[in-house]
Amino acid sequence: MTAPQTQQQQTLENHVTTGATVWLTGLPSAGKTTIAYELAGRLRAEGRRVEVLDGDEIREFLSAGLGFSREDRHTNVQRIGFVSELLARNGVLALVPVIAPFADSREAVRERHQKGGTAYVEVHVATPVEVCSVRDVKGLYAKQAKGEISGLTGVDDPYEEPESPDLRIESQNQTVQESAAAVHALLTERGLA
């Protein structure tokens, strides 16, 4: 005779175990990372396994030595795509707040997921550059304006907006909680949350 299950064991057994990659793309200071961490907290509170693959941390630890040329940006995105797909196919919700400025790089990541049968959701955090430059979380827009840096995505380096993302968020028109709730609603609708 087996011992009765605890409530926690029953919850874990009955809970969704499907992983997915949720790629949040947008300009610097659009709100991608803030939304990702808000969503991660909500999902963890529901008992989900979640990892946030922050673009800055990835550049420091996984893509150290890469620059910001188109080729290096593509390589960086492919590395992040590989890690996120690996996590997702093992039942983790991988939240990826990474600029990923080029459509072909993002499409290659989507195709990797499709080939592996792994869920992939693209969220465009479509905050206008004017709003991002006011937020300027890292001071990049100010440095670019002073001529201290160049190659700032969306200013003097291209950003190819997704033509048909799974979800488009205009973070300047809603709270962080509302933005995270919109992503959560989409995940729920698709059976991923």
Tens of each residue's pLDDT in the chain, 193 residues: 555 555 554 444 444 468 999 999 999 999 999 999 999 999 999 999 999 999 889 988 988 889 889 999 999 999 999 999 999 999 999 999 999 999 999 999 999 999 999 999 999 999 999 999 999 888 999 999 999 998 899 898 999 999 999 999 999 999 999 999 999 999 999 999 9
pLDDT score, position 55: 87
What's the half-sphere exposure (Cβ side, CA atoms, 13 Å) at 57? 7
Handedness of CA 148, 73, 35, 56 (dihedral sign): negative
**Nearest CA among 39, 33, 31, 23 for reference residue 128:** 31
Handedness of CA 72, 74, 80, 86 (dihedral sign): negative
pLDDT score, position 151: 87
Give residues with Cβ within 8 angstroms of 159, minimum separation 6.
27, 99, 101, 153
Give residues with Cβ within 8 angstroms of 162, minimum separation 6.
25, 103, 106, 122, 124, 168
Token match 């590989």: residue?
82
pLDDT score, position 6: 53
